[in-house]
Amino acid sequence: MLKRYTRQMLISSMYVVVTLLIAPASFGPIQFRISEVLLVLMFFDYDYIYGLTFGCFLANLIGLISGTNPIGVMDIIFGSSATFISCVMMYNLKERKIKNIPLLSFIVPAIINGTIVGLELAIVFNFNDLMTYWSIYGFQVLVGELGVLLVIGIPVYLALKERKIDG
């Protein structure tokens, strides 16, 4: 039991450190959150959802406190919820593979974050033209998330799968 909690806290810590290390790119209208590559852990153990969600929550909270997260409290609630939903969906779609890669699982978080975080950004930065800015910010978040998960995430997934890590 202690080993599982320790893993969750380690994952949370890694998510927070990587997010804050590149804080300007992790928050704001154009996001490139490299820490999202940790979502690939969902393919190996459902319990990693707790560490990843808590890590996102802490990163968003510390980002708010330090002034690097312009979305603020909304991101703590909805951004963390987007991570939770993404993790659950990734895990549930992991058996649907194309050429032995659960490609749909890598795409779903981009759609979820593009929708939820894109809406947050549109509300914060230009509420008067919500639909236009939601589509712009949503697309930017979607592209950043896809970049992280497809370019970095797939090789990480394949390396971990080859090593046969387990939860």
Q: Whole-prediction pTM value?
A: 0.90
pLDDT of residue 165: 61
Q: Considering the chain, what percentage of its residues have pLDDT values greater than 90?
A: 66
Q: How far apart are CA 71 and CA 1, in angstroms?
A: 36
* CATH number reported for the structural domain that contains residue 78 in this entry: 1.10.1760
Mean pLDDT over 106-117 rounds to 95
- Average per-residue pLDDT for the chain: 91
Domain of 88 in residue numbering reads as 2-163
Number of domains in the chain: 1
pLDDT of residue 66: 93
Residue 67's φ and ψ, nearest 5 degrees, are 85, 10
pLDDT of residue 1: 83
Is pLDDT of 42 > 60? yes
pLDDT digits (tens, 9 = 90+) for 120-139: 888 888 767 878 888 888 89
Q: How far apart are CA 47 and CA 107, in angstroms?
A: 21
pLDDT of residue 29: 78
Secondary structure of residue 101 in the 3-state scheme: strand
pLDDT digits (tens, 9 = 90+) for 148-161: 999 999 999 999 98
Q: How far apart are CA 154 and CA 90, in angstroms?
A: 13
Which H, E and C letters describe 8-25, residue by residue? HHHHHHHHHHHHHHCHHH
Mean pLDDT over 63-76 rounds to 91
Long-range contacts of 143-146 (CB under 8 A, 24+ apart): 143/110, 144/30, 144/31, 144/32, 144/33, 145/31, 145/33, 145/36, 145/109, 145/110, 145/113, 145/114, 146/106, 146/107, 146/110
- CA dihedral (107, 108, 109, 114) in degrees, to 10, reads 90
Say which residues have a Cβ less than 8 Å from residue 133's Cβ, sequence separation at least 6: 121, 122, 125, 126
pLDDT of residue 56: 97
pLDDT of residue 134: 84
